[in-house]
Amino acid sequence: MSISNTKRPAVFLDRDGTIIEDRGHLSRPSQVAFFAGTVSALRRLKEHFELFIVTNQSGVAKGLLTMEDVGRVNGHVLSYLSGFGIRIIDTYVCPHDASDGCECIKPKPYFLRKAEKNHGIDLSRSFAVGDHPHDVAFAENAGAQGIYVLSGHGIKHRSELWEDARIAAGIEQAADIICKIAAVPAAGSNDAS
């Protein structure tokens, strides 16, 4: 059995309530508000992990916004982050409603498998971060590790979470936990530049 060392670990970030405030179904870039800790957390994580965004946008299925709206909002998120040297490898959107029975909605691990296949990601060394129990289940359903954040809807849904789930106050503490589990230095980017 030969094992390739070229597969890379990743962090899969939920969007609303995790890296930006959850203000309902966002259709315009002007509605985007980053959490204060997002840039510093992602700058640390990017030193050791590929970064992805995975977002359920059921507002599309409900007719509240279009995929073009979602694309514009995501485009703004990506360009803002890229201004801080943070590259998001891919942004995955499920536009369906839970009742549609699609394959791509979290907690189904469809997009994790897609990243594994298309970007050579090692899911066993990867993490998903989000403010909903389905973000944690998403990770666990593909052998990755989930970190639940109490930002966004995190406090509201906390009672639905299982006992042994890892919980962070927000994205910065999630980055601390991930770096600790992965045994990588938590403050890489400050030293490097």
Question: Which of the residues are catalytic?
Answer: 14, 16
Partner from Zn ion, Mg ion, none binding residue 17, C-beta < 5-8 Å depending on class: Mg ion
Q: Does 182 bind Zn ion (CB under 5 A)?
A: no
Contact partners, residue 93, CB within 8 Å, separation at least 6: 55, 57, 67, 70, 74
Count of residues that bind Mg ion according to CB under 5 A: 4
Residue 173 phi/psi, 5-degree rounding, is: -70, -30
Q: Which is nearer to Zn ion, 60 or 175 (CB)?
A: 60
Q: Which of residues 124-143 bind Mg ion (CB under 5 A)?
A: 131
CB of 49 to Mg ion, least distance (A): 19
Q: Which member of 17, 59, 146, 170 binds Mg ion (CB under 5 A)?
A: 17
What is the phi-psi region of residue 143: left when phi exceeds 0, alpha when psi lies from -120 to 50, beta otherwise? left
> Can you give the three-state secondary structure of 40-86, one letter per residue?
HHHHHHCCCCEEEEEEECHHHHCCCCCHHHHHHHHHHHHHHHHCCCC
Partner from Zn ion, Mg ion, none binding residue 9, C-beta < 5-8 Å depending on class: none
Q: Which is nearer to Zn ion, 104 or 184 (CB)?
A: 104
Partner from Mg ion, Zn ion, none binding residue 109, C-beta < 5-8 Å depending on class: none
CB of 71 to Zn ion, least distance (A): 16
Q: Which of residues 75-104 bind Zn ion (CB under 5 A)?
A: 94, 96, 102, 104
Q: CA 26, CA 24: separation in Å to the nearest integer? A: 6
Which helix (H) or strand (E) element contains residue 133?
helix 133-140
Q: CA 138, CA 118: separation in Å to the nearest integer? A: 18
- Amino acid 192 reads A
Shortest-Cβ-distance residue relative to Mg ion? 17
List residues binding Mg ion (CB under 5 A): 14, 16-17, 131
